[in-house]
């Protein structure tokens, strides 16, 4: 018994001193910073950009000569003779060679690598902005779901209070048993709703934590954001103009088109201009009259060299005539490049048109939300008054319980719709800010800092 008592005390002590998992406080800016720093998709994009940067930085290595050393041991299939002497069948030779090619395409190739790196930089900036947009919208969605849970729990508490009141009235003979049963049913109907919302919140928070590079079960609390909304301080034409020149998707596509145009130019220069090749070789052949396995490889004592040295310096000017014919492989490469450029230009024109339509739709949506929020705020105020008066009338026996339930449901719906509209406005503002290429927070009343 004493041993069990001591073990119990030890277990209680360990339980008390075990560290409790701290709950982290997050703001929208902190969440964005963590996601950009820790997200694995962005890390892959950074590694890809490093590859492009290395190629661009070392693009000058195209002008370095290529050099190589070879050594060959060969054996003749049949022995040969000269002046009655049978020559050895084994031969040894070595060679050193270097060459350097010059063409106008090399210079354009250097520019192509630089443009490719710039396009990669724009792509990773776009990925960061998309990550920030996703984080801020998910942040808002979590707050909306938490607010919904608070409202549903308030409704659940009200339903419990009404059920207790209905039971008291029934036991006092002031209300029928049916009213009490209806109140209990209303309480039980709300329990699954609360459980479902809490489970959805848990899943959403897990996904949000993974997006930030945290453990899926990390504990955190989100700082509330302002629900204030106002008109967008820009004209429609100005928004369209900004989007056409600053939207990340359009900037990325234009950069890719520039890089593709440079690649096409480099290909044309390679195919339609001559090349100049400078070469220098040094060869050394072991005397074919000697056997490398029997005669000395190095110089003998008499100073006789057993190696026949050779080599040359060459200047070659050449051009590939296949590229002049459209049906050759080279000609088809040019046609494929032209088609790729046309496809990209069509995509650019289509993206600009879609962006104009997107901004038009967002502006109309924001204006509609502003009107709806004003009307919904008035509806919430009226629903609160109606619920209060209905409950007072029910207490006085002037209204039945069904009226109280209907009034409570109307109030809950009005509050949820108002809250949803406010968060829809915040998310639409984020979409609009991304489309026109301005830092997040520029069009809203929430002060934010952009991350590069």
> Computed from CA positions of residues 395, 400, 405, 410, in that sequence, does the dihedral angle turn out positive or negative?
negative
417: in domain: yes
Of 132, 118, 121, which Cα lies nearest the Cα of 46? Answer: 121
276: in domain: yes
70: in domain: no
Q: What is the 3-state secondary structure (H, E, C) of 77-100?
A: CCCCEECCEECCCEEEEEEEEEEE
16: in domain: no
CB under 8 Å to 39, separation ≥6 — which residues?
Answer: 131, 211, 212, 213
* CATH number of the domain where residue 201 is located: 1.20.1600.10
Assess contact for 103 and 24: CB atoms under 8 A: no
Q: Which two tokens stand for residue 174?
A: 């002031």
Of 156, 154, 181, which Cα lies nearest the Cα of 167? Answer: 181
pLDDT, one tens digit for every residue, the chain (452 residues): 444 334 444 444 444 444 445 678 888 999 999 988 888 788 888 888 888 888 888 777 777 788 899 989 888 888 888 777 788 888 888 899 998 888 888 888 888 888 888 888 888 888 899 999 999 999 999 998 988 888 888 778 777 877 787 778 778 776 778 777 877 887 887 888 888 988 999 999 999 998 888 888 888 888 888 777 777 766 777 888 888 888 899 999 999 999 998 888 888 888 888 888 888 899 888 877 777 877 777 665 445 677 788 888 888 888 877 777 778 777 778 888 889 899 999 999 999 998 888 888 888 888 888 888 888 888 888 888 888 888 788 777 777 766 777 787 788 788 888 888 888 888 888 888 888 888 888 886 433 333 33
pLDDT in tens, 188-237: 878 888 889 889 999 999 999 988 888 888 888 888 887 777 777 667 77
Q: Which two tokens stand for residue 299?
A: 């110089």
CB under 8 Å to 309, separation ≥6 — which residues?
Answer: 282, 283, 284
76: in domain: no
8: in domain: no
What is the pairing mode between strands 85-86 and 81-82? Answer: antiparallel
According to the model, what pLDDT value does residue 320 have? Answer: 79
Q: Total structural domains in the chain?
A: 1
Q: What's the whole-number average pLDDT of the chain?
A: 81
> Computed from CA positions of residues 382, 384, 389, 391, in that sequence, does the dihedral angle turn out positive or negative?
positive
445: in domain: no
- Cα gap 112→258, rounded to integer Å: 9
According to the model, what pLDDT value does residue 16 have? Answer: 46
Q: Which domain holds residue 92?
A: 24-61+85-436
271: in domain: yes
- Cα gap 392→132, rounded to integer Å: 49
């Amino acid at each position: 018994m004493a041993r069990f008592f001591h073990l119990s005390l030890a277990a209680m002590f360990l339980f008390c001193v075990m560290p409790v998992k701290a709950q982290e406080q997050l703001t929208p800016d902190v969440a964005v910073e963590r996601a950009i720093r820790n997200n694995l998709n962005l890390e892959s994009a950074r590694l890809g950009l490093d590859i492009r940067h290395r190629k661009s930085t070392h693009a000058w290595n195209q002008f370095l000569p290529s050099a190589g050393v070879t050594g060959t041991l060969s054996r003749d299939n049949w022995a040969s003779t000269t002046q009655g002497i049978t020559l050895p069948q084994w031969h040894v030779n070595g060679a050193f060679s270097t060459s350097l090619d010059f063409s106008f395409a090399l210079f354009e190739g250097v520019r192509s690598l630089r443009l490719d790196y710039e396009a990669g930089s724009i792509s990773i900036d776009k990925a960061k902005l998309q990550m920030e947009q996703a984080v801020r919208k998910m942040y808002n969605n979590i707050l909306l779901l938490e607010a919904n849970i608070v409202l549903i729990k308030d409704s659940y508490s009200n339903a419990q209070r009404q059920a207790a009141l209905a039971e008291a009235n029934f036991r006092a003979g002031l209300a029928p048993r049916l009213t009490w049963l209806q109140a209990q049913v209303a309480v039980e109907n709300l329990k699954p709703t609360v459980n479902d919302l809490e489970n959805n919140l848990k899943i959403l928070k897990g996904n949000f934590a993974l997006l930030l590079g945290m453990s899926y079960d990390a504990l955190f609390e989100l700082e509330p954001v302002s629900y204030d909304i106002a008109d967008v301080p820009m004209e429609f034409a100005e928004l369209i103009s900004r989007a056409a020149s600053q939207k990340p998707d359009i900037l990325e596509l234009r950069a890719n088109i520039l890089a593709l145009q440079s690649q096409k130019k480099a290909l044309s220069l390679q195919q339609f201009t001559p090349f100049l090749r400078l070469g220098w070789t040094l060869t050394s052949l072991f005397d074919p009259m000697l056997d490398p396995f029997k005669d000395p490889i190095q110089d003998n004592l008499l100073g006789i060299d057993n190696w026949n040295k050779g080599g040359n310096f060459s200047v070659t000017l050449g051009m590939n005539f296949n590229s002049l014919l459209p049906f050759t492989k080279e000609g088809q490469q040019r046609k494929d490049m032209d088609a790729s450029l046309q496809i990209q230009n069509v995509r650019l024109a289509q993206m600009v048109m879609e962006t104009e339509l997107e901004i038009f739709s967002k502006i109309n949506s924001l204006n509609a939300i502003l009107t709806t929020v004003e009307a919904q705020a008035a509806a919430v105020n009226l629903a609160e008054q109606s619920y209060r008066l209905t409950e007072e009338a029910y207490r006085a026996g002037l209204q039945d319980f069904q009226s109280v339930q209907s009034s409570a449901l109307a109030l809950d719906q009005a509050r949820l719709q108002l809250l949803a509209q406010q968060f829809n406005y915040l998310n639409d503002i984020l979409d609009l800010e991304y489309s026109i290429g301005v830092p997040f927070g520029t069009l809203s009343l929430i002060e934010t800092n952009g991350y590069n």
